[in-house]
Amino acid sequence: MSVSSNSNEPKINIIPLMDVIFIFIFFLLMSVQFFEYFEIASSNPVTKNAQATPPDSKEQKQFKLQLGKEKVEFTQGVDEKVVETFGYDKEGLTRLKEFMRKIKSENPDENSMIIKPYKDIDFNHIVSVVDSVQQRMSAGKDAKGNAKMKLLFRNIAFETRE
Asked if 68 and 85 touch (Cβ cutoff 8 Å), the reply is no
SS3 string of 10-23? CCCCCHHHHHHHHH
pLDDT at residue 70 in the model: 86
**Does 37 or 1 have the greater pLDDT score?**
37
pLDDT at residue 19 in the model: 92
- Cα separations (Å) of 119 from 101, 104, 139, 154, 160? 27, 28, 36, 24, 8
- Lowest mean pLDDT across 50-59, 77-86, 138-147: 50-59
Please tell me the distance from the alpha carbon of residue 113 to that of residue 110, in angstroms, as a whole number: 8
> Which residues make Cβ contacts (< 8 Å) with residue 103, sequence separation at least 6?
63, 74, 110
pLDDT at residue 149 above 80?
Answer: no
pLDDT at residue 4 above 70?
Answer: no
In the chain, the percentage of residues whose pLDDT exceeds 90 is: 4
pLDDT at residue 20 in the model: 92
The CA-based dihedral angle spanning residues 83, 89, 90, 96, taken in that order and rounded to the nearest 10 degrees: 10
Instruction: Give the pLDDT confidence of 51-78 residue by residue, as tens digits.
Output: 444 445 455 678 888 888 888 888 887 7
Instruction: Give the pLDDT confidence of 26-51 residue by residue, as tens digits.
Output: 888 888 776 666 555 555 444 444 44
pLDDT at residue 23 above 80?
Answer: yes
What is the arithmetic mean of pLDDT over 130-135?
79
Most confident of 14-23, 65-74, 125-134, 150-159: 14-23
pLDDT at residue 112 in the model: 80
pLDDT at residue 52 in the model: 45
